[in-house]
Amino acid sequence: MVDADGRPVAGVLVLGVPSGETRAEWTERTASDGSFRLLGLPRGSCTLRAWTFDDDLRLASAPRTVEVPRETPVELRLPRGSSLRGVVRDAVDGVPI
């Protein structure tokens, strides 16, 4: 698991969803070097996705489909974050909330 600049990211939640399933039964958090292992996945196609949560930001990697078993590492990449600024105003009088 790496960020948009290719640096390892620790503590990211990686989800594994076997083909034909809708729920992620296999989850793991990445280690300090960004590595992860999802053990016990059934043979066949599996979609991997990673999520990171911060106080103000939630990022997800693009889904990646792999074949299980797999001997070579899979790299998931989180997108670069963005920010948004604005003022929330009351709909009646326009006063900032």
pLDDT of 60 above 80: no
Collapsing DSSP to helix, strand or coil, 2 comes out as strand
pLDDT of 14 above 90: yes
Q: What is the pTM of this model?
A: 0.72
CA nearest neighbour of 53 among 8, 85, 11: 11
* Span of 24-28, 41-45, 62-66, 83-87 with lowest mean pLDDT: 83-87
**For the chain, which residues make up each domain, given as ranges?**
13-68
pLDDT > 90 fraction of the chain, expressed in percent and rounded? 34
User: Per residue in 15-26, pLDDT tens?
Assistant: 999 998 888 889
